[in-house]
């Protein structure tokens, strides 16, 4: 688990550097992104008592993954090394327990974020536990999204030459199919995923 967190931290650092080479010195409002995403998370879970609502598990998962991006960024800033950051995140996630009150836990998480302007991985882990989201699911979803974003950028996404449809399927669909062929527990999961995407893109988008 700790090695997988290290992989995600490395990915996040690289992605942030694409946005700004000196991103750590920019004082970006990561906490603001977290509480805004928390509000969207509440919407997808449902809170309106005057209409019928059912939790959208897929969208809830995506929102938690988005929050995790910003949480990783804050953790990278707060700690001296990636290994130190990974160790602390693992400790916090391991100590999280479900309360069974997802709406209240979202509010507690958002309130704590606004008050401290920090990311509380223990409270985040509680949200995961509330909806029975596994760490494996978080890892696969996070790495998949980041690798796809890198791949798009590396293949002309900004200048419009990237082909989002490969062999009649969108790249998001291809991504899911490729992930199913790999072992997410492997230390080379990230590089294996990128390599297979290169092969599929060259074959299917020609």
Tokens 């995923």 sit on residue:
193
Residue 94 is predicted with a pLDDT of: 92
d(CA 144, CA 181): 13
d(CA 198, CA 194): 6
Domains for the chain: give ranges and CATH numbers. 2-136 (1.10.4010.10), 147-204 (no CATH)
Q: Quick one: tokens of 16?
A: 């942030």
Q: What is the mean pLDDT of residues 106-122?
A: 96
Q: Is the pLDDT of residue 13 over 90?
A: yes
Residue 53 is predicted with a pLDDT of: 87
Residue 74 is predicted with a pLDDT of: 97
Q: Which long-range contacts (CB under 8 A, 24 or more apart) does 58-67 make?
A: 60/131, 61/131, 61/133, 61/137, 61/141, 62/141, 63/37, 64/124, 64/127, 64/128, 64/133, 64/138, 65/138, 65/141, 65/142, 65/145, 66/37, 67/34, 67/37, 67/38, 67/41, 67/124
Residue 83 is predicted with a pLDDT of: 93
Q: Is the pTM of this model over 0.85?
A: no
Burial profile 31-53: b = 16 or more Cβ within 10 angstroms, e = fewer: bebbbebbeebbebbbeeeeeee
Please answer whether residues 181 and 196 qualify as being in contact, where contact means their C-beta atoms are separated by less than 8 angstroms.
yes
Residue 104 is predicted with a pLDDT of: 95
Write out pLDDT tens, residues 25-75: 999 999 999 999 999 999 999 999 999 888 888 889 889 999 999 999 999
Q: Is the pLDDT of residue 84 over 90?
A: yes
Residue 206 is predicted with a pLDDT of: 63
């Amino acid at each position: 688990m700790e090695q997988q967190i290290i992989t995600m931290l490395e990915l996040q650092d690289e992605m942030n550097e694409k946005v700004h080479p000196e991103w750590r010195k920019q004082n970006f409002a990561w906490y603001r992104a977290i509480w805004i995403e928390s509000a969207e998370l509440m919407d997808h879970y449902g809170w309106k008592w005057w209409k019928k609502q059912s939790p959208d598990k897929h969208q809830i998962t995506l929102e938690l993954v988005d929050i995790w991006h910003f949480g990783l960024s804050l953790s990278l800033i707060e700690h001296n090394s990636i290994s130190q950051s990974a160790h602390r995140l693992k400790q916090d996630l391991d100590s999280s327990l479900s309360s069974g009150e997802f709406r209240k836990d979202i509010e507690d998480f958002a309130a704590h974020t606004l008050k401290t302007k920090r990311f509380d991985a223990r409270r985040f882990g509680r949200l995961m536990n509330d909806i029975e989201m596994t760490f494996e699911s978080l890892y696969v979803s996070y790495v998949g999204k980041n690798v796809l974003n890198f791949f798009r950028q590396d293949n002309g996404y900004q200048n419009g030459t990237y082909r989002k449809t490969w062999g009649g399927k969108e790249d998001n669909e291809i991504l899911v199919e490729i992930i199913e062929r790999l072992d997410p527990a492997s230390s080379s999961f990230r590089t294996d995923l990128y390599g297979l995407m290169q092969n599929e893109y060259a074959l299917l988008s020609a």
